[in-house]
Amino acid sequence: MALILIRAEDQSKLLNTLADIERHAGLKISGKPRIMDSKKADNIATKILKQKIRSRSAIAVLVKVVDDTTKSIVHIRKIHPPAHVVVISEEYAEFKELEANFNKLSPLRGYYSHKSEKSSDSKKED
């Protein structure tokens, strides 16, 4: 399992990025993405990247992905989403705190998994 932090300018870009992660990167999102304070997300991104970020985010979410960290990084590098995506591995100090507080964060409204829709369609055909 990996944690992915997505920082965006608006909810539309955020939702498009989530769709890109599932469709084009081929990663399976576990549960609903959780809304984070954008300033906290910016600070976490700065610490992990060890450089100043170019722009501040207006909205940020934390996502759990079924796939491991290495696969998540490799697959996300191949896509070009409209928002900033940071994969947070277990080696970072922030990982444990984010994982522990994940369920305390509010779920993102307006998100639904395209993969779960396809899997339920295929079950109907059986």
Mean pLDDT of all residues in 70-81: 94
Q: What is the pLDDT of residue 1?
A: 87
Which pLDDT tens digit goes with each residue over 76-116? 999 999 999 999 999 999 999 999 999 999 999 888 776 55
Q: What is the pLDDT of residue 115?
A: 59
Task: Provide the residue ranges of all domains of the chain, joining segments of one domain with +.
Answer: 2-104
| Contact partners, residue 75, CB within 8 Å, separation at least 6 | 25, 26, 27, 67
Q: How far is CA 88 from CA 6, 56, 70, 126, in A?
A: 11, 19, 10, 38
Quick one: which H or E segment has residue 60?
A: strand 59-65
Residue 122 pLDDT: 40
| 21 touches 71 (CB < 8 A) | no
At the top level of CATH, which class does the domain 2-104 belong to? alpha beta
Tell me: the pLDDT tens digits for 26-61? 999 999 999 999 999 999 999 999 999 999 999 999
